[in-house]
Amino acid sequence: MSVYRTHVLLPVDEGTAQAGVFEVKRRLEKELKARKLQDEIKVLESGSVGIVGKGVILAVYPDRMYYFNVSEDDVVRIIEEHLLKGRVVAGLNHAPIAAATAATAAKKDAKVGLTREQRRVVLDKAWTVDPESIDEVIAAGGYKGLEKIFTEKITPEAVIEEIKNSGLRGRGGAGFPTGMKWEFTRKASGTEKYVICNADEGEPGTFKDRLILEGDPHRLIEAMTIAAYAIGAGRGFIYIRGEYELSIERLRKAIAQANEYGLLGKNILESGFSFMLEIRKGAGAYVCGEETALIESLEGKRGNPRVKPPYPVTNGLWQKPTAVNNVETLANIPAIISNGAGWFRKIGTDKCPGTKVFTILGHVEYPGLVETEMGTPLREIIFGYGGGIKGGKKFKAALLGGAAGVFLPEKLLDVKMDYESLKENKAVLGSGAVLVMDEGTSIVDMLFSIAKFFAHESCGQCVPCRVGTHQILDIIYRVRQGRGREGDLETMLGLAEAMFRSSLCPLGQSLVMPVKSALENFKEEFTLAISHAEKP
Amino acid sequence: MKRDKILKQYEASGDNLLAILHDIQDASAEHYLDDASLRAAADYLKLPYSFVYGVASFYTMYSLEPRGKNLIRICQSPPCHLLGASTISRELMRLLGIGFGATTPDKLFTLEMTSCLGVCGVAPAMMVNGRVYGNLTRERIGGIIEDLRRVK
Amino acid sequence: MSEMVTINIDGRDIQAAKGENLLKVARDNGFDIPGLCFYEKITPTGDCRLCMVKIEGRPGMVASCLVKVEAGMKVTAFDAQLEETRKMLADVLLSEHNDDCITCERDGDCQIQDLAFRYGLDTPKRTFASIWKEIPQAPDSTAPVLFYDSSKCIKCERCVKSCFEIQGKGVLSMAQRGIHSHVVAGTGQWSGSECDGCGECVQACPVGALMEKPVYGGKLKKKDVQRKVVTTCPYCGVGCQLELWIKDEKIAKVKGFDSVPNFGACCVKGRFGLDFVQSPDRLTKPLVRKEGKLVESTWDEALDLVARKLGAIKKEHGPAALAGLSSAKCTNEENFVFQKFVRAAFGSNNVDHCARLCHASTVAGLARSFGSGAMTNSIAELENAEVILVTGSNTTETHPVIATRIKKAVLFHGAKLIVIDPRRIDLVNYAEKYGGLWLRQKNGSDVAWANGMMNVIITEKLLAEEFVKTRTEDFDALKKVVSNFTPEKVEKITGIPAAQLQAAAHLYAKAACASIVYSMGITQHTTGTDNVMSMANLAMLTGNLGKESAGVNPLRGQNNVQGACDMGALPNVFPGYQAVTDAALREKFEKAWNVKLDDKVGLTVVEIMHQAAAGKIKGLYIMGENPMVSDPDLGHVKQALEKLDFLVVQDIFLTETAQLADVVLPATSFAEKQGTFTNTERRSLWVEKAVPAPGEARIDWEVIRDVSTRMGYRMEYNSLEDIVNEVNKLVPQYAGITYARLMRGDKLQWPCPNPEHPGTKFLHRDKFTRGLGKFFAIDYIPPAEWPDEKYPFLLSTGRLLYHYHTGSMSRRTVALPQYVPGPFMEMHAADMKRLGIASGEQVKVSSRRGSIVTEARESGRVDTGSVFITFHFAEAAANLLTNDAFDPIAKIPEFKVAACQIEKINP
Ligand SMILES: Nc1nc2c(c(=O)[nH]1)N[C@H]1C(S)=C(S)[C@@H](COP(=O)(O)OP(=O)(O)OC[C@H]3O[C@@H](n4cnc5c(=O)[nH]c(N)nc54)[C@H](O)[C@@H]3O)O[C@H]1N2
Ligand SMILES: Nc1nc2c(c(=O)[nH]1)N[C@H]1C(S)=C(S)[C@@H](COP(=O)(O)OP(=O)(O)OC[C@H]3O[C@@H](n4cnc5c(=O)[nH]c(N)nc54)[C@H](O)[C@@H]3O)O[C@H]1N2
Ligand SMILES: Cc1cc2nc3c(=O)[nH]c(=O)nc-3n(C[C@H](O)[C@H](O)[C@H](O)COP(=O)(O)O)c2cc1C
Ligand code: SF4
Ligand code: SF4
Ligand code: SF4
Ligand code: SF4
Ligand code: SF4
Ligand code: FES
Ligand code: FES
Ligand SMILES: [Mo]
């Protein structure tokens, strides 16, 4: 591998692809070649940087400089000015190049926006390396954790111990300690075991897993191999939602490369340990994110959640012990193994060590994604990274954790974003989605949208959820239309609570959270809607 | 014949059903799974027909009805809703003259609603044949539809 | 028995078996916890959520139907919150339900109706608006026997699971999702599915969503049911217990009854095929031939005529000129009386019945090998066999409820299935998909593959040496013959690849308990007895006898063919297989019956026909058989029957045979009389009168009694009980199956030597009936006729699920002909292409004996060069083609192999 003086990174994701990143790349390569710079400056595609709505993004390394809204026509100027002369192309022609900001510049440089300093663990390599080149990934420290295990002959038990000590908790929503899950699976009887990566990511407002998959698929492969080694699995599956075509393509390539490099497949790193990893595509069903529904789906069935207990750790895929972990959870593993549990524990809070990737959406200036320490106050996420409310309007509410989330009012803006603190405030971290609503938002309308989502995504197996979601939708639809009736709110809440008590799986149990929090925190809006309803 | 080739790529094991259905549907000009395909998949995997039908009808990405050349799936989940998905939806229905789940008579467009597509950063968003269109506005929709119409 | 533990429900201590279903325990103890999806026969689904309870130590509420009882469990079944939640669920559920009870057949017999009533959910009191009308519905009425109304479906999945877990089929699934979910068959339509109409799903449905089509007449509400009668199915040898719902003295509905042997299950014929009973075609008056035509007469006239004519023949030509065909459709008691009638009134042993065409080779073969010729085990044991070898039995179609056991063994208990059959029958799927094997042999090569398997087993020392040494004899002779049958040689004879044969031998020999199941594919050959003894050899060699779930299990075909044999409707034995040639035994019967009995073995069915054609048999009495369709080489049978001086047919319909008779006597069907049928597992089952006899139809035994008396041999049976008592006295196997026990509902398996005996589950436990099991060294002999240049196709005959034998009953039903309206021939696509025949086209099929015209249908079941025709359809009677060459020992004809040619009709 030759050594380049400069790397030009072009993050590729759905957004940048649409904005023309490939055209920019082609032009860049052409122009560099014309200047015989191709052996000095390397152009590569990288994973998404989690900045959205800013067109084609171009980053220059090691200069740590971003250009947004880059068009083909800007390429020559960037080469001439920046790459040859080392000057930021700023003042030249302002219009197309909106901003150029150092990615990890000191905080004083950037107080707001997603380019402000983050604490990146799982997204560590996501915009610095070509995700489709295993060489680069390895050069940048990829597969170090796996290597460490085999060179230092760390036992599976010790791996599990390390993960337990790290305090890592599942990032898929429930926050279950990962080390414990692995231990249960390892100790479950049977020799055939599986690891599954839950990459179904269907929670509205969530796309963090996609960015990890697109930006650093090798990290996931390394993590799953470690997981398989720890629990004693020979086969693993990445269940990924069908829409994530780019992720699937990148994962395919990454798996092929890892197999070729002996980092996956038979006799990994000559250790005698073998692990076969496959990708399975979902086909459009939110409920398949629920681990047992996911397993059913993986088996080729309808995505009906199973009754728990028994849990997947003993009766998972094909009734064999199975560890199901979220993408982000797994993405933490290599770093924990490489740097040790102690290192990990220094990040985040006591009970929730590590970082969390949040997606910031809705009425904010900078919608997108940030990875920051657990326990970061909500206010900082919304007003710091998110740049505050769009158009200078006032904050009204934040829906935390996706559709199965909770409406938080302004008075809770300072809540710390970690499992414990949120729980104390009757809220949930969920998938880490933060949907911000400004003063003009109708909570009634938002609750309607949520009910519609649940009604659409209920698997239909059990009565409370199948019919209950529709009845709630019916009521809220009426209320929203100005046809609400006395008692509707009580009925709705009563039903949501009954659904919580009686639904077969967490999907039906969780509609109560948005309903209850909306009614608790924004009651007037609902009563107003009903009292203004046309009376027959 | 093409169908047989797809089937043969997979081991005849039930867990491959979803993948097989994906591939067959992707190979279909009308983006759907016809009766013969369901039966072929069932026969190949030795599954009851109803089982395959049950699976195919469970997942929203599969269709049991022929669909148009351009499959438009517009997200209506809360984040997109907040940023105006319903306005976009209405505009789409107006422009295409069809409701959700329907196909235009010229078989150019099928309109479907979908839950979150995982691109909420550019909400409101929709997908046309796997390609994402984000930051939609009522104004932009017309142009997008026009572009799609033009591509032959 | 599992351990008993104490649990506490709502403050009351209760004893329950550990691991038992909590909801069931609670309900059994009087806690009326609601719940719609729970159905004891299937695994719990837990989706109605009505049975929620609280259990100390567990968070929230749990569905009790999903909980297994554990010691010390403290359960709250009822409290305000639970009831409020349940009421809410019921309310919600009703909003999805189209409750138009006024016209619903399930009114008064409906679990959601009961639920609404229980929680006082009168329409105005419901909280939730009715939404079912807004939901797109997916009703389906394309199946001939049932319809699905999705607007009444509560999505409990009982039907889906019943079809899979009880019937082993899995035809149904839920489709769509959420509020749109509904039940589906096929790819959206019942008619295009694999559904075979067994109705298990209908029976499982707790509401009016899945309903029987009114094949028995109009719609039926439970309150209009006059009475329910439990009886035994008249079709096949499984002997399903059925509950007949009677309205206006007619069968209005049929349900599977929950007891041995079927435990509630049944097949399409038992459930939807009993309307032949009330067919307008039923014979209601005796018919007498006058001037060539059959005209109605009185019983007196008809009986007198019969007695006079038969008496005259006897007088003129001697007893040997008379013969009788008894009936495997009739009860034990009727068969007993009939054979006694032939033996005592005719004075000959010329009595036989369809067993001759069926399992005569089994009776002969197994009697030689083991000492008794019946299923060694009971039906239920199949479910626990490790390996099941099915050969020459199309079990799913011909013994459907036994097939459910086999399927369940494979699906849920890890059993491996070996199917050895020339046709790709349904069970092949269960073999191939679940780690078993399908061996496709050439027809008539069964001795060869059996010897081949034994060759492998002996060579590889997989035999049960101890068993062979202590329990059998003549092993050396067997070993010698078998040594010639190397897998390679067997491959040449049978077409079964050597490796497959070896694999099958390993699988079978290594199992701790392996059961052989066979039927007509083994018996209906000129080597039928050899084939049967080969099965016996195979089982003895591997020690698979005298224990549970192992054994040799010939599936007896007719509802009472086992009983007809047991009752001595055979030319060589008195009731109880007591040889007519044995002087001591003969004396016993002579004493009991007070008559001199013939000491010579009588004629068999095929021999009777031959002798009639030859003019030696002059008078024939046929009770409940239809040889004009069911006997081989019909052209010849017709000649024979027409040659007779006098033919009496006693039947329930004017069959093809009856049309040739001089006197036709109208009999009552199973539904109009009492008695017993002995099913294939040697179990005596009660038949109960359900409806009145049509017209003047009379009970078979009463008619026989009267004819006998009029012929001079007086029979004095005043009741069925009298006959049963006599059977108890004369038939050792039935000595303990007394009238009192039958009345009590006992369903006993013979041998049952005394009134205290519990019956015998499996035979040959410590010793064989004949002492030691005997190996027979058997060489391979090819079938009597084989395809050649002139007749290039191999013709095999057999059955379909939807029809029964000569169609006399099944074709007179509403439902069954909808599945299969008429005759057809299964043919391989390649052959059809070669001959330029399109599927559905009429073709002419000819053999050396005759020809028929039938529809050719492309089929994935038969191999190239073979065709398959059923004998259900007289208009294209397979038996015009079949060969009446028979097995020298059992005299069974070779129904399974003949040669034929096929011509396009319009070239
Ligand atoms: N629906 C229905 N059920 C019935 C009956 C009915 O008429 N209709 N009849 C009842 C009666 S009386 C009987 S006896 C039973 C019969 O029940 P079965 O014996 O199961 O029925 P068949 O269709 O005669 O043939 C059985 C199988 O033998 C196979 N076979 C053909 N040739 C050979 C051969 O050379 N060797 C071997 N090993 N197999 C071969 C055929 O492919 C077929 O699968 O069914 C009973 N049940
Ligand atoms: N080609 C070919 N031919 C075959 C076979 C084959 O596999 N292939 N199989 C053979 C076998 S195994 C069998 S068992 C035979 C069956 O041959 P059959 O016994 O001749 O056939 P079934 O149609 O059952 O005839 C029974 C008759 O009894 C009448 N019946 C029903 N109930 C009663 C009753 O209560 N009282 C009276 N008196 N009559 C009643 C019916 O109406 C019917 O006419 O067919 C044989 N023929
Ligand atoms: C309705 C529903 C949807 C879910 N969707 C996802 C998902 O998209 N991705 C995910 O990782 N976990 C999802 N979960 C959580 C999973 O069931 C499971 O807890 C998780 O995959 C475990 O991984 P973790 O321990 O690493 O968090 C969902 C749960 C429910 C009830
Ligand atoms: S709660 Fe909803 S998603 Fe979960 S099993 Fe019940 S119907 Fe299905
Ligand atoms: S299914 Fe039950 S509740 Fe529904 S209409 Fe019929 S009887 Fe009434
Ligand atoms: S009738 Fe029998 S085979 Fe048909 S769907 Fe119902 S249970 Fe299954
Ligand atoms: S048809 Fe009947 S048994 Fe089947 S799901 Fe509906 S209500 Fe339940
Ligand atoms: S399996 Fe046999 S006995 Fe049972 S219902 Fe069907 S035909 Fe009658
Ligand atoms: S909410 Fe529309 S894409 Fe996620
Ligand atoms: S009876 Fe237990 S959930 Fe339906
Ligand atoms: Mo038979």
> What pLDDT score was predicted for residue A3?
61
- Report d(CA A240, CA A255) in Å as an integer: 14
Which H or E run includes A451?
Answer: helix A443-457
CB C165 near ligand 6, within 6 Å: no
Question: Are A282 and B59 within 8 A, CB to CB?
Answer: yes
pTM of the model: 0.93
Q: Are C397 and C799 in contact (CB under 8 A)?
A: yes
Q: Which of A523-532, C89-98, C142-151 has the lowest mean pLDDT?
A: A523-532
How far apart, in whole angstroms, are the C-alpha atoms of residue C185 and residue B50? 5
Distance CA C421, CA A294 (A): 40
Is residue C576 pLDDT above 80, yes or no? yes
- Which residue bears the tokens 């595609």? A45
Radius of gyration of chain A (CA): 24
Note whether residue A44 is domain-resident. Answer: yes
Instruction: Write the pLDDT tens digit of every residue in C430-465.
Output: 999 999 999 999 999 999 999 999 999 999 999 999
Q: Coil, strand or helix: which one is A506?
A: helix
Q: For residue A502, what is the domain's CATH number? A: 1.20.1440.230
Residues A506-519 have a mean pLDDT of: 96
Whichever domain contains A62, its CATH number is: 3.40.30.10
> Which DSSP string corresponds to B48-104?
-HHHHHHHHHHSTT--SS---SEEEEEE-SHHHHHTTHHHHHHHHHHHHT--TT-B-
Residue C321, SS3 per DSSP: helix
Q: What is the interface pTM, i.e. ipTM, of the complex?
A: 0.93
The answer to whether residue A389 sits within a structural domain is: yes
pLDDT of residue A97 exceeding 70? no
For residues A287 and A303, state if they share a domain: yes
Nearest by CB to C193, which of B50, B57, B64?
Answer: B50
Per-residue pLDDT, A15: 76
**Which tens digit of pLDDT belongs to each residue from C248-277?**
999 999 999 999 999 999 999 999 999 999
Query: What integer pLDDT is reported at residue A115 of this predicted model?
Result: 59
Does the N-terminal peptide bond of residue A62 adopt cis geometry, omega within 30 degrees of 0? yes
Is pLDDT above 60 for C724?
yes
Tokens 């196709």 label which residue? C793
Indicate if the pLDDT at residue A92 is higher than 60: no
Q: How confident is the model at residue A91 (pLDDT cuts 50, 70, 90)?
A: very low
- Co-location of A165 and A297 in the same domain: yes
User: Does the pLDDT of residue A4 top 80, yes or no?
Assistant: no
For chain B, how far is it from start to end, CA to CA, in angstroms? 27
Examine residue A199 and state whether it is found in any structural domain, yes or no.
yes
User: What is the distance between the alpha carbons of residues A503 and A463, in angstroms, rounded to a whole number?
Assistant: 8
Is the pLDDT reported for residue C700 higher than 80?
yes
A359 and A491, same domain (yes or no): no
Residue C180 to residue A466: CA distance in whole angstroms: 9
Q: Residue A444's pLDDT is what?
A: 97
Residues of A with CB under 8 A from a CB of C: 285, 302, 307, 455-464, 466-471, 474, 491, 494-495, 498, 501-504
Query: CA quadruple B92, B97, B102, B106: dihedral positive or negative?
Result: negative
Read off the tokens for C365. 């073969």
- Choose among A475, A455, A179, A106: nearest CA to A337: A179
Which helix (H) or strand (E) is A447 found in, with range? helix A443-457
Same domain, A195 and A229: yes
Please tell me the predicted confidence (pLDDT) of residue A64.
Answer: 62
pLDDT at A106: 29
pLDDT of A96 reads 27
Ligand 8 centroid – CA C805 distance (Å): 14
| A252 and A140 share one domain | yes
Ligand 3 contact, A174 CB (< 6 A)? yes
Q: List, in sequence order, every residue forming a beta bridge with A196; answer none if it has no partner.
A: A237, A324
3-state secondary structure of C212: strand
Question: Taking CA atoms, what residue in B is nearest to A398?
Answer: B79
Selection from C439, C437, C389, C434 nearest residue C413 by Cα: C434
Q: CA–CA separation, A114 vs A51, rounded Å? A: 7
Q: Based on the fold, state whether residues A166 and A300 are members of the same structural domain.
A: yes
Question: For residue range C468-485, what is the model confidence (pLDDT) as tens digits?
Answer: 999 999 999 999 999 999
* Whole-number pLDDT of residue A5: 78
A26 pLDDT band, cuts 50/70/90, is very high
pLDDT band at A164 (very low <50, low <70, confident <90, very high): very high
- Phi and psi at residue C699, to the nearest 5°: -70, 135
d(CA C550, CA C382): 8
Q: Are C221 and C212 in contact (CB under 8 A)?
A: no
Same domain, A332 and A371: no
A-C contacts at Cβ under 8 angstroms: 95
pLDDT in tens, C278-287: 999 999 999 9
pLDDT > 70? residue A333: yes
Subunits next to A (3 or more Cβ pairs <8 Å) are B, C
- HEC sequence for A153-200: CCCHHHHHHHHHHHCCECCCCCCCEHHHHHHHHHHCCCCCCEEEEEEC
Q: How many percent of chain C have pLDDT more than 70?
A: 100
Q: Which residues contact A266 (CB under 8 A, 6 or more apart)?
A: A274
CATH of the domain at A256: 3.40.50.11540
Contact C192 B49 (CB under 8 A): yes
Residues with CB under 6 A from ligand 10: C 23, 35-38, 46-51, 63, 65
Residue of C266, C406, C421, C626 best suited for mutating to test ligand 1, as the one with most atoms within 8 Å of CB? C421
Residues in chain B: 152
- Do A147 and A61 share a structural domain? no
- Structure tokens of C464? 């049960």
Establish if A108 belongs to a structural domain.
Answer: no
User: Chain B within 8 Å of A355 (Cβ-Cβ)?
Assistant: no
The predicted-structure confidence for C504-533, as pLDDT tens digits, reads as follows: 999 999 999 999 999 999 999 999 999 999
Question: Which chain B residues touch A210 with a CB distance below 8 Å?
Answer: 118
C-alpha C458/C-alpha C542 separation (Å) is: 10
C880-893: average pLDDT? 92
Each residue's pLDDT tens digit, A389-431: 998 899 999 999 999 999 999 999 999 999 999 999 999 999 9
Q: What is the mean pLDDT of chain C?
A: 96
Least confident of A45-49, A94-98, C355-359: A94-98
Overall size of chain A counted in residues: 536
Task: Indicate if ligand 7 lies below 6 Å from the C-beta of C156.
Answer: yes
| Percentage of residues of chain C with pLDDT beyond 90 | 98
A491 and C52 within 8 Å at the Cβ level: the answer is: no
pLDDT at C193 over 80: yes
The answer to whether the beta carbons of residues B120 and B110 sit under 8 Å apart is no
Residues with CB under 5 A from ligand 11 (ion): C 358, 557
Same domain, A359 and A433: yes
Which residues in chain A touch residue B113, judged by CB atoms under 8 angstroms apart?
456
| CATH 3.40.30.10 boundaries in chain B | 70-150
Residue A514 structural domain? 443-534
| C-beta separation of B62 from B99 below 8 A | no
Q: C293 in contact with A at a CB cutoff of 8 Å?
A: no
Per-residue pLDDT at A258 exceeds 50: yes
C93 touches chain A (CB under 8 A): yes
Determine the number of helices (DSSP H) and then strands (DSSP E) in chain A. Answer: 23, 13
Q: Are residues A298 and A216 in the same domain?
A: yes
Distance from CA of C633 to the nearest CA of A (A): 52
Using the predicted structure, report yes or no on whether residue A99 has a pLDDT greater than 80: no
- d(CA C819, CA C801) in angstroms, rounded, equals 10
Q: What percent of chain A has pLDDT over 70?
A: 92
- Give a yes or no: residue A107 inside a domain: no
Alpha carbon distances (Å) from C101 to A183, C159, C695? 55, 21, 38
Helices A512-521 & A523-531 angle (0-180, nearest 10):
80
Closest Cα to atom 5 of ligand 8: C270
Question: Are the beta carbons of C287 and C294 closer than 8 angstroms?
Answer: yes
The answer to whether A381 and A370 are in contact (CB under 8 A) is yes
Residue A396 lies inside a defined structural domain of this protein: yes
Same domain, A160 and A279: yes
pLDDT of residue A77: 86
CA C444 to chain centroid, in Å, comes to 24
DSSP class of residue A382?
I
Q: Over 90: is that where the pLDDT of C135 sits? A: yes
Q: Please work out, in degrees rounded to the nearest 5, the angle formed at the alpha carbon of residue C512 by the alpha carbons of C511 and C514.
A: 60
Tokens (6 digits) for A475: 């009521």
Q: What pLDDT does C445 receive?
A: 96
Share of chain A above pLDDT 90, in %: 71
Mean pLDDT of B46-59: 96
The structural domain count of chain A equals 4
Nearest ligand atom owner, CA of C233? 8
Q: Please give the Cα distance from C688 to C676 (Å, whole number).
A: 9
Same domain, A251 and A165: yes
The pLDDT of residue A56 is 87
Please tell me the predicted confidence (pLDDT) of residue A534: 62
Do C176 and B58 make contact, defined as CB atoms within 8 angstroms?
A: yes
Cβ of C138 less than 6 Å from ligand 7: no
Q: Whose CA is nearest to atom 26 of ligand 2?
A: C625
Percent over 70 (pLDDT), chain B: 99
In Å, how far are C41, C260, C654, C742, C759 from C745, measured between CA atoms? 22, 11, 34, 5, 14
The whole-angstrom separation of Cα A332 and Cα A344 is 9
Check if the beta carbon of residue C323 is closer than 8 Å to that of residue C348: yes
- Which residue's CA is minimally distant from atom 22 of ligand 3? A325
**Which residues have C-beta atoms less than 6 Å from ligand 4?**
A 287, 305, 458-462, 465-466, 503-505, 507-508
Q: Is residue A477 part of a domain?
A: yes
Nearest to A204 among B21, B61, B77 (CB): B77
CATH topology of domain B70-150: Glutaredoxin (3.40.30)
Q: pLDDT band at A535, cuts 50/70/90?
A: low
Between A133 and C50, whose confidence is greater?
Answer: C50
Shortest CA distance from A502: residue in chain C: C49
User: Can you list the pairs that C469-473 forms with residues at least 24 positions away whose Cβ atoms lie under 8 Å?
Assistant: C471/C540, C471/C545, C471/C546, C471/C767, C471/C768, C471/C772, C471/C773, C472/C540, C472/C772, C472/C773, C472/C774, C472/C775, C473/C772, C473/C773, C473/C774, C473/C775
Contact at 8 Å (CB) between C343 and C571?
Answer: no
Inform me whether the pLDDT recorded for C786 exceeds 90.
Answer: yes
Phi and psi of A227, rounded to 5°?
-60, -45
For residue C355, count CB atoms less than 10 angstroms from its CB and return exposed for 0-12, middle for 13-18, buried for 19 or more. buried
Q: Is C715 exposed, middle or buried (0-12, 13-18, 19+ CB in 10 A)?
A: buried
Q: Which two tokens stand for residue C73?
A: 């469990």
pLDDT in tens, C396-425: 999 999 999 999 999 999 999 999 999 999
Q: Peptide bond preceding C692: is omega within 30 degrees of 0, i.e. cis?
A: no
A364 lies in a domain?
Answer: yes
pLDDT of residue B54: 97
Instruction: Tell me if A380 sits within 8 A of A146, measured CB to CB.
Output: no
Q: How far is A474 from chain C (nearest CA, A)?
A: 9
What type of residue sits at position A172? G
Which among A374, A407, A438 is the end of a domain?
Answer: A438
Q: Higher pLDDT residue, B118 or A464?
A: A464
C37 lines ligand 7 (CB under 6 A): no
Q: Which of C558, C175, C36, C553 is nearest to C329 (CA)?
A: C558
The CA distances from residue C792 to C424, C824, C868, in Å, are 21, 19, 14
**Residue appearing with tokens 């005592």:** C344
The rounded mean pLDDT for chain B is: 94
Give just the sign of the alpha carbon dihedral C572, C574, C577, C583: negative
pLDDT at B115: 94
Distances (CA, A) of A85 to A77, A78, A82, A334: 11, 10, 5, 38
